Amino acid sequence: FLAREVIDLGKGTTRLKFQILKASSASRNPDPLPVEGATILISETDIEMETDINGEAVIKIKRGTYTGKINKAGFQDILIETFQIKQGETKNFTFTMIPIV
């Protein structure tokens, strides 16, 4: 009993929430701006999704261990390091993309 993990299947959907921002170099508006159309790929699955106009994406996924990648033309790729997610958990990620000059 002590070595088992109790999973409450009624707990809800397991999901990843992403917010992708653009690094800003403007002195008048130093706040990062959302990146629309960035592709998020979860490597251990066939899941690929693009961010919306607010730079956000929500991916429903099964519990497990994953890695990933975020890319968009004109920006440096971002590698998502290994992470674990449990059943019913929601993980929030915020990444800032750097434009290629």
Around Cβ 16, how many Cβ atoms within 10 Å? 23
Q: Global pTM?
A: 0.82
Average pLDDT score over residue span 3-8:
61
3-class SS of residue 7: coil
15-22 and 64-71: which strand pairing?
A: unpaired
Q: What is the percentage of the chain residues whose pLDDT exceeds 70?
A: 83
pLDDT tens string 30-72: 678 999 999 999 999 989 999 999 999 999 999 999 999 999 9
38 in the Ramachandran plot: left (φ > 0), alpha (ψ -120 to 50) or beta?
Answer: beta
pLDDT number for residue 31: 76
pLDDT at 79 over 80: yes
